[in-house]
Chains A and B, each alone.
Chain A
Amino acid sequence: MSYLESTLKTIPTGLSKVLYVNWALVLLLSAAASVGFLMLYSNAGGSFQPWAEPQMKRFALGMVAMLMIGMVPIWFWRNIAGLAYIASFMLLIFVEFFGHVGMGAQRWIDLGPIKLQPSELMKISLVMLLAAYYDWLDIDKVSKPLWVLIPVVLILVPTALVLNQPDLGTSILLIAGGAIVMFAAGVSWWYFAAVAGIAVGLVSAVFASRGTSWQLLKDYQFARIDTFLDPSTDPLGAGYHITQSKIALGSGGWTGRGFMQGTQSRLNFLPEKHTDFIFTTLAEEFGFIGGISLLALYAGIVLFCLVSAMNNKDRFGALVTIGVSATFFLFFAVNMSMVMGLAPVVGVPLPLVSYGGSAMLVLLAAFGIVQSAHIHRPRGKR
């Protein structure tokens, strides 16, 4: 009798699973999403339309999906990880040829009510596949070069497709998310040190490529980097977003101007005020207190996931939980760095808060797998 079989008996079945859901996580997710509803309501000038109400409906749908996914045994998700990856990969290729072009990038497939972004699906499929890979791999082979190369290829191929769309933000999240799963699985520190070294070289190469025939980034991406480095050079042009974002955020002060009293966001100084820059509305209207509270909620979500992962003796479950929480962390860390002027403007939404359909649904589905891992974790006899 293997360890797994011996512990399977302790895993809840049937309706009793509901008792084992990570309810604290559900609560934190709902709290963070509620902050989003409030901000969308405020941004629409005190109206549930056009953003808050659809967002609430989607969140409700996402929560149901999350709980349903959570009820499904974790080994099912492990077993379909390869399939999910291949499906996401095919969709990415499909969008390359037939996708809709929006905001200068080719990103989504129009499925009628929902605009599906395969790159969103890929983020979660990649985490699942890597977790499954390391679940399968012998532990002593983890740091062997050949076995390191396989996940690196699994990460870089879809990343190349996403970068080609082009979507720099998602590309960064894919690489970083994948790397974190590899790191958690125990890949040697040396590889990460080497990659860091190579990354520095690559960044230099990207800058060196500027203006040549083999230019690695689009002009607008270079422009964003330029204005990030010095927003004041073009206050009404490309630097406008960063400057206005910082003004709105900074003018919030300790306690903010009060709900619906934000002048900068309400008067349209802020670009994409309901999507990527929604944090500025919160920071302006509720000040430092409001901003730090959301950050605390996010920290809670990440910590609950990590604790759940550390208590999970199932390798796939633990790794997928860490992968999902890391992706979630990367979302808000990049977004907040961006609006605070710590990072260049890349199109990364604030998770659960920004207005957007497929991103929220995919994220909640991913938390569904986290829930599944939590519910179906092997429990040792104590």
Chain B
Amino acid sequence: MRRSPADTAQSARKISRRALFLGGSQLAFMGILGLRMRYMQVDQADEFRLLAEENRVKFRLLPPARGLIYDRNGAVIAENEQTFRIVIRKEDASELDQVLVELERLIGLPLEEQERVRAELKKAGPSAPVTIADRLSWEAFSSVSANGPALPGVTPEVGLSRHYPLHDDFAHLVGYVGPVSDYDLSKMDNIDPLYRIPKFQIGKSGAESRLEDVLRGKAGSLRVEQNAYGRIIRELDRHEGEPGVNLQLTLDNNMQNFTQARLAGESASAVIMDVETGDILAAGSTPAFDPNLFVRGISSVAYNELLENDHRPLPSKSVQGAYPPGSTFKMVTALAALEAGVVTPEDTVRCMGYTEIGGRRFHCWKRAGHGNVNMVGSLRHSCDVYYYEMAQRAGIENIAEMGRKLGLGLRYDLPLPGINSGLMPDKQWKLENRGAEWVVGDSLNAAIGQGFVLATPMQLAVMTARLATNREILPRMIKSIDGVEQNILGGAPLGLNENMLRSVRQGMFEVINSNRGTAFSARIEDDTTKMAGKTGTAQVRSAVVNNNNVPWIERDHALFVAFAPYNAPRYAVSVVVEHGGGGSSVAAPIARDLMLYALHGAVPPLAAYPSSQRGTIRERFKAMPLRDLDGDESTRGRA
């Protein structure tokens, strides 16, 4: 390797030239790198900063706590309970397989649930949470929380879920909530962003549904900084939402519980109302169901059972059930005739057991006839023939007008779904809906609450309250919203002639308190709480037969309406027992029990009952499935 100096010098020169060229190229490339750096970090800096911010900061909605629902005495009807669940978001679910295996080990997440999570993640948006497991036990929840590092992307969340501590009692009034569905969303014009939260609870029926906007509250927001694994590093800021507004209902939870218990076993409904304010103290409907089942998502088996039950547990019969009012309608006919001036209370009508019109016989329920009856007597005996006569004298228009004046055929503004407006027919109605002329036979049927006439238990209670007060009472179910007392609706004088009204009330009094009255067995012994009322037996089929020999579904409906105390009315009550048989034997005793409970604010004392009935009554109360109430009676006084 000896080289001549010339060679060495030539080699060194060549290397230097090439080295210079290399150095130049390298510098040029570094220049490109520098320019690129400048372009990204200076020219495009804002854009990348924005992307960096999006990377880091996540926006979350904070669901507000739903407003609570109380009864008139402050007992909780609907509350929120803490639930523990774990969720995952698509953008954080890069290691889903590992996570699911780990969760199977930790909390025994079943395979079909794992498949559901996979399927839901496929459909979900990148930052929408998908629930992996809901309603976890505290143990399972804390083991998931403790193993956070092994579960990238899994977020433990403490949520609130609706709970109805009184179970069945308010199912038909307060209703229930359930996870928001596509169907719910399709009905809305303006979708609250909260509804985009999967499984967000929305009112599905009853007051929960009608007052959804009040109860829901406003969403809060939370900005968090998180790392690439979706773990929250810290909260940047938090805007608490507004919790939903609390509601207080006019309902009394003890009264409601007693009502449900008293109606248990029947397909029945009852309404108890304050005659002064229109406050509904209880509105029973049996059979009922546990709304908590719907909150959790009811199984199709259980739901089908509810649907197929011939006693129809799902509808609120107090407002959704429209029945022929039967003889409880006779006060309307009587007042219509009195107001029209076609009869006086003292005028008598001779009942032969039937009336013949155009060759067709209209029978009285008592085939033998009542003989001469005046207004009071006609109510006491519930004589049909008297009212056939009144119908012919007053005409359907007067009767329909009086019916509407007393609250029939009207739709009340109550926070309940599917309210039935009943039916108070007149000539025009028949022409429009049946395409036929009104005939006098229609009037005769209407006069005794049959034919086309339909009324709900709620309407019958309103009618009774109006008869008791001569004022335009309207039902009220919401006592206060957010502590603000709601206006009492209506209450204006009806303007009925007090003297005429008095004779009708007298008739109602004798129904119960005269030993010849149809509901004498349902009398109250206590002189200060005497009850006035009217029985009704609504025919389901055209032919009158012995109710004991026909299938349940073909038996007559038993009805009863009443108010008490007779001298200073406080409460009105209506009872409908579907296919219960006679109003006097089935509905009246129920109405009496409810009325006494309302008047006493507790299970009625036996002293209020006729001594011969006390044994039976005691046994009945003992057997009633009443909720275990607190021992201290005084705390449950009327508000």
In the complex, are the beta carbons of A333 and B33 less than 8 A apart? yes
Q: Is A3 an interface residue (CB 8 A)?
A: yes
Contacts of B94 in A (CB 8 A): 236
In the complex, are the beta carbons of A288 and B48 less than 8 A apart? no
Q: List residues 374-400 of chain B with CB under 8 A from any CB of chain A.
A: none
Q: Is A115 an interface residue (CB 8 A)?
A: no
Q: List residues 1-45 of chain B with CB under 8 A from any CB of chain A.
A: 1-5, 7-12, 14-16, 18-20, 22-23, 26-27, 29-30, 33-34, 36-38, 40-42, 44-45
Contacts of B10 in A (CB 8 A): 139
Q: How far is the CB of A15 from chain B (nearest CB, A)?
A: 29
Q: How far is the CB of A227 from chain B (nearest CB, A)?
A: 16
In the complex, are the beta carbons of B55 and A244 less than 8 A apart? yes
In the complex, are the beta carbons of B30 and A254 less than 8 A apart? no
In the complex, are the beta carbons of B22 and A306 less than 8 A apart? yes
Contacts of A269 in B (CB 8 A): 55-56, 227-228
Q: Is A12 an interface residue (CB 8 A)?
A: no
- Given A236-B91, A310-B15, are A180 and B3 neighbors across the interface (CB < 8 Å)? no
Which of A197-205, A296-304, A352-360 contacts its partner?
A296-304
In the complex, are the beta carbons of B41 and A291 less than 8 A apart? yes
Q: How far is the CA of A318 from the CA of B20 in the complex (A)?
A: 13
In the complex, are the beta carbons of B33 and A184 less than 8 A apart? no
Q: Is B439 an interface residue (CB 8 A)?
A: no
Partner of A3, one of B5, B30, B225, B233: B5
Q: How far is the CA of A180 from the CA of B29 in the complex (A)?
A: 15
Q: How far is the CB of A338 from chain B (nearest CB, A)?
A: 11
Q: Is B226 an interface residue (CB 8 A)?
A: yes
Contacts of B14 in A (CB 8 A): 139, 186
Contacts of B526 in A (CB 8 A): none
In the complex, are the beta carbons of B7 and A292 less than 8 A apart? no
In the complex, are the beta carbons of A263 and B52 less than 8 A apart? yes
Q: How far is the CA of A315 from the CA of B94 in the complex (A)?
A: 55
Q: How far is the CA of A299 from the CA of B18 in the complex (A)?
A: 18
Contacts of A342 in B (CB 8 A): 33, 36
Q: Looking across the interface, which residue of chain B has its beta carbon closest to that of A4? A: B2
Q: How far is the CA of A219 from the CA of B583 in the complex (A)?
A: 85
Partner of B12, one of A263, A313, A336: A313
In the complex, are the beta carbons of B15 and A186 less than 8 A apart? yes
Q: Looking across the interface, which residue of chain A has its beta carbon closest to that of B46? A: A253
Q: How far is the CB of A326 from chain B (nearest CB, A)?
A: 7
Contacts of B42 in A (CB 8 A): 253-254, 288
In the complex, are the beta carbons of B22 and A299 less than 8 A apart? no
Q: Is B235 an interface residue (CB 8 A)?
A: no
Q: Looking across the interface, which residue of chain A has its beta carbon closest to that of B94? A: A236
Contacts of B48 in A (CB 8 A): 246-247, 249-251
Q: How far is the CB of B228 from chain A (nearest CB, A)?
A: 4
In the complex, are the beta carbons of A254 and B45 less than 8 A apart? yes
Q: Is A329 an interface residue (CB 8 A)?
A: yes
Q: Is A287 an interface residue (CB 8 A)?
A: yes
Q: How far is the CB of B95 from chain A (nearest CB, A)?
A: 12
In the complex, are the beta carbons of B1 and A136 less than 8 A apart? yes
In the complex, are the beta carbons of B15 and A184 less than 8 A apart? yes
Contacts of B91 in A (CB 8 A): 236
Q: How far is the CB of A228 from chain B (nearest CB, A)?
A: 15
Q: Is A29 an interface residue (CB 8 A)?
A: no
Partner of A253, one of B19, B49, B226: B49
Contacts of B26 in A (CB 8 A): 299, 302, 326, 329, 333
Contacts of B19 in A (CB 8 A): 184, 306, 309-310, 318, 322
Q: How far is the CA of A333 from the CA of B51 in the complex (A)?
A: 26
Q: Is B47 an interface residue (CB 8 A)?
A: yes
Q: Is B362 an interface residue (CB 8 A)?
A: no
Q: Is B229 an interface residue (CB 8 A)?
A: yes
Chain A CB within 10 Å — which of B38, B44, B45, B52 has the most?
Answer: B52
Contacts of B30 in A (CB 8 A): 295, 298-299, 333
Q: How far is the CB of A264 from chain B (nearest CB, A)?
A: 5
Contacts of A340 in B (CB 8 A): 33, 36-37, 40
Q: How far is the CA of A302 from the CA of B56 in the complex (A)?
A: 38
Partner of B22, one of A180, A264, A295: A180
Q: How far is the CA of A333 from the CA of B31 in the complex (A)?
A: 11
In the A-B complex, list the 5 residue pairs whose CB atoms are closest, starting with the nearest. Answer: A250-B48, A251-B52, A267-B227, A268-B228, A253-B45
Residues of B within 8 A of A (CB): 1-5, 7-12, 14-16, 18-20, 22-23, 26-27, 29-30, 33-34, 36-38, 40-42, 44-45, 47-49, 51-52, 55-56, 91, 94, 225-229, 233
- Excluding A247-B52, A254-B42, 8 further A-B contacts by CB distance (< 8 Å) are A3-B5, A250-B40, A264-B52, A292-B34, A306-B19, A313-B9, A336-B33, A340-B37
9 contacts between A and B (CB under 8 A): A2-B2, A2-B3, A139-B7, A250-B44, A251-B52, A267-B227, A269-B56, A270-B228, A322-B22
